[in-house]
A and B are shown apart, each in its own frame.
Chain A
Amino acid sequence: DTAVSQTPKYLVTQMGNDKSIKCEQNLGHDTMYWYKQDSKKFLKIMFSYNNKELIINETVPNRFSPKSPDKAHLNLHINSLELGDSAVYFCASSQADRGGYTFGSGTRLTVV
């Protein structure tokens, strides 16, 4: 019954690998986001999709590629992982211009 679910919860991988994080929401929201929270707990937006269309693409290395097959799903693929990519990645959804975000439980990515 989870509103925003993302998998996996933990991800430990070696430098240079490629990995994906999946996110799904069952709230009927039309906008989904990826945020990165670093070790200093600062939450920074990476991407936003509205009805499968990319509307926000912050200054993120092009090794990060989001994909939204439909408005309930937003996945994040990361190529050639680097040590600095270690962080917690949160998926969130909202009804575009009203209401707050509902966050997923987060994916703790550790690159070794």
Chain B
Amino acid sequence: GQNIDQPTEMTATEGAIVQINCTYQTSGFNGLFWYQQHAGEAPTFLSYNVLDGLEEKGRFSSFLSRSKGYSYLLLKELQMKDSASYLCAVRGPNAGKSTFGDGTTLTVKP
């Protein structure tokens, strides 16, 4: 099975940088995803890592180390609209199924 850990809550200041960590133990690995979910809305896809290293997409970057079972999501130049829950998800070997962490609620303050 999959076991995914991420912090429950984080707070950061507008304009700053924040790093949200995710660690996982898995019986099979087929990629790691980050999703953003605003309150009352559906999750939206942010990033995908299947090989070790850093993937950059605008203000958001995601890093993966498969040997350490570790990923992080880096958000730069924080904006108030970045206040949301950030979900780490690991895809196992079973035909596309992703297991989600409990999510990290990020609050951006002025």
**What is the bound-complex CA distance between A32 and B53, given in angstroms?**
29
| A-contact bits for B67-105, CB 8 A (1 contact / 0 none) | 000000000000000000101000100111111101100
Q: A41-B102, A42-B102, A99-B48 are in contact. Are A55 and B95 (CB under 8 A)?
A: yes
- List A contacts of B95 (CB < 8 A): 31, 48, 50, 55-56, 96-97
**What is the bound-complex CA distance between A41 and B47, given in angstroms?**
20
- Would B96 and A43 count as touching, CB distance under 8 A? no
- A91 → B minimal CB distance (Å): 9
**What is the bound-complex CA distance between A35 and B89, given in angstroms?**
13
- List B contacts of A44 (CB < 8 A): 100
Say whether A45 faces chain B, with CB atoms less than 8 Å apart: yes
- Would B42 and A45 count as touching, CB distance under 8 A? no
Q: Which of A96, A99, A104 contacts B42 (CB 8 A)?
A: A104
- A102 → B minimal CB distance (Å): 7
- Would A100 and B33 count as touching, CB distance under 8 A? yes
- List B contacts of A41 (CB < 8 A): 37, 85, 102-103
- Would B30 and A97 count as touching, CB distance under 8 A? yes
Count of chain B residues with a beta carbon within 8 Å of a chain A beta carbon: 22
- List B contacts of A48 (CB < 8 A): 95-97
- List A contacts of B44 (CB < 8 A): 103
**What is the bound-complex CA distance between A94 and B97, given in angstroms?**
10
- A43 → B minimal CB distance (Å): 4
Question: Whose C-beta in chain B lies nearest to the C-beta of A100?
Answer: B45
Question: Whose C-beta in chain B lies nearest to the C-beta of A50?
Answer: B95
**Mind listing 16 A-B residue pairs with CB under 8 Å?**
A35-B100, A40-B102, A42-B102, A42-B103, A43-B43, A43-B103, A55-B95, A90-B42, A94-B96, A97-B30, A99-B48, A101-B43, A104-B42, A105-B41, A105-B42, A106-B41
With A41-B37, A42-B103 known, 15 other A-B pairs at CB within 8 A are A31-B95, A35-B100, A41-B85, A42-B102, A43-B87, A48-B96, A50-B96, A56-B94, A56-B95, A97-B30, A100-B48, A102-B45, A103-B44, A105-B41, A106-B42
